[in-house]
């Protein structure tokens, strides 16, 4: 098993022949991104205060994000409560105030994701996606099956017309 982020640019003929199955794993769809957000926030110490509406809004703003991008977005949003002025000042003060601040981390909110979305952008461009699709159509293991099904449908339609 192997993985390559840029097969359409870097795999030579010999390497490609050795890969028996060539699969294109697409970017996560809306449902997958929602699950990634929910799972990414499970381990957050202070929890979160996001509603279903908040989740839907964030998922809508992350179209084109990869799984890695979604993980980075969750990490960045989870750090936002720790960047609050009062929290940082309490930690710097040390002692009981620092202990109390560490125990009272506020929940992650919609504004934290708004800030995180400014920092974490999609890592895959539309041009790269088109290159992956073209490579998959030419060399992908299952692209040929899909094109054969389409061809047989059109052949059946043409036979029914004649």
pLDDT digits (tens, 9 = 90+) for 45-93: 778 999 999 999 999 999 999 999 999 999 999 999 988 877 766 666 6
Residue with the two structure tokens 């990869």: 66
Structure-derived torsion over alpha carbons of residues 42, 44, 49, 51, reported in degrees to the nearest 10: -30
For 17-34, the pLDDT digits (tens) are 666 677 778 899 999 999
Would you say residue 161 lies in a domain? no
Would you say residue 22 lies in a domain? no
CATH of the domain at 58: 1.10.8.60
16 Cβ contact list (under 8 Å, min separation 6): 7, 22, 139
Burial class of residue 6 in the structure, from the number of CB atoms within 10 Å of its CB (0-12 exposed, 13-18 middle, 19+ buried): exposed
Question: Domain containing 113: what range?
Answer: 27-80+109-135
Domains held by the chain: number: 1
Would you say residue 125 lies in a domain? yes
pTM of the entire predicted model: 0.71
Would you say residue 63 lies in a domain? yes
- CA separation for the pair 7, 22 (Å, rounded): 10
């Amino acid at each position: 098993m192997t993985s390559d982020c840029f097969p359409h640019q870097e795999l030579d003929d010999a390497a490609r022949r050795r890969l028996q199955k060539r699969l294109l794993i697409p970017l996560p769809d809306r449902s997958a991104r929602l699950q990634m957000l929910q799972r990414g926030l499970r381990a957050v110490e202070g929890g979160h205060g996001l509603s279903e509406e908040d989740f839907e809004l964030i998922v809508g703003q992350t179209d084109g994000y990869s799984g890695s991008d979604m993980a980075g977005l969750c990490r960045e949003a989870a750090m936002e409560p720790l960047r609050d002025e009062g929290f940082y000042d309490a930690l710097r003060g040390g002692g009981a105030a620092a202990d109390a601040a560490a125990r009272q981390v506020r929940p992650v909110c919609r504004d934290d994701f708004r800030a995180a979305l400014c920092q974490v952008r999609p890592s895959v461009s539309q041009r790269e996606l088109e290159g992956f699709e073209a490579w998959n159509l030419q060399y992908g293991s299952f692209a040929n099956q899909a094109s054969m099904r389409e061809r047989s449908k059109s052949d059946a339609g043409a036979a029914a017309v004649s």
